[in-house]
Amino acid sequence: MPYQRDPQSIYAESRGLIARALEYHHFSPDELVIVERMVQASADLDYAEATIFQGDAVTKGVEALRAGADLVVDVEMVRVGLEQERLAQFGGPIRCAIQDPDVKAQAVALGTTRASVGIEKAVRGTTGCIIVIGNAPTALLTVVELIGAGHLRPSLVIGMPVGFVLAAESKEALLQTKVPCIVCRGRKGGSAVALGALHGLLDLAERVALRSGNEG
């Protein structure tokens, strides 16, 4: 049986199928770019119903990317999945501290998760960062606590931890902060879906850069 093997053709066919499946939706054109990326990463159309954009999230995220904001991620799976060459064009450094030896030691001493300690270390000293949580609900809850205490004011939080314990609750807590965020409600999520959202933002940031270049 012959199979389609050309990568560009496969990508185009995939995006066409997703676009037809999401023909009836409530998203703005820019929001739809991000949701389509999330669906493509997961093959799960439920994200068209579960995804929430709060506080002018897309505009704030694109502006922060183009300004070279720090990108803080919860786990290595998110960091290694980043299209880092594309991100580098805007100059944003990537922060992920979950594997740092001092984070591991502190987590044991405090009886908490490395994700929680790691995200607290990674956001330290940042201003207007973008935070991507694709795995650990405790990392997102720590972000929520830091925001609530006035110690953190990110430009955008992509909150998509996955799991049966605290995943849904941590996302609802993030929505209560009123900071700009992109959230998929419920238990679903994960690193691939969070990366899909971030890469959708990169798509939009590159379009803005291209338009600016053409106008110049």
Averaged pLDDT, 17-36? 87
Look-up of token digits 């409600």: 185
The reported pLDDT for the residue numbered 14 is 76
* pLDDT classification of 186: cutoffs 50, 70, 90: very high
The distance in angstroms from the start CA to the end CA of the chain is 50
**Amino acid of residue 57:** A
> What CA–CA distance (Å, rounded) separates 14 from 43?
10
Closest CA relative to residue 77, chosen from 194, 157, 200 = 194
pLDDT tens digits, 127-137:
999 999 999 99
CA-CA-CA-CA torsion sign (134, 138, 142, 147): positive
92 versus 157: the higher-pLDDT residue is 157
Structure tokens at 34: 């991000």
The reported pLDDT for the residue numbered 172 is 98
Is 97 within 8 Å of 118 (Cβ atoms)?
A: yes
Is 140 within 8 Å of 72 (Cβ atoms)?
A: no
> What CA–CA distance (Å, rounded) separates 72 from 14?
30
Tell me the HSE value of 208 on the side-chain side, using a 13 A CA sphere.
17
* pLDDT classification of 216: cutoffs 50, 70, 90: low
Structure tokens at 181: 């965020």
Q: Is residue 125's pLDDT more than 90?
A: yes
| pLDDT mean across residues, the chain | 92
Quote the longest CA-to-CA distance of the chain: 60
Closest CA relative to residue 128, chosen from 149, 88, 156 = 156
H or E element at residue 145: helix 137-148
pLDDT tens digits, 54-69:
999 999 999 999 999 9
H or E element at residue 159: strand 156-159
> What CA–CA distance (Å, rounded) separates 23 from 134?
27
Q: What phi, psi does 97 have (nearest 5°)?
A: -115, 5
* pLDDT classification of 26: cutoffs 50, 70, 90: confident
Instruction: Quote the pTM value.
Output: 0.92
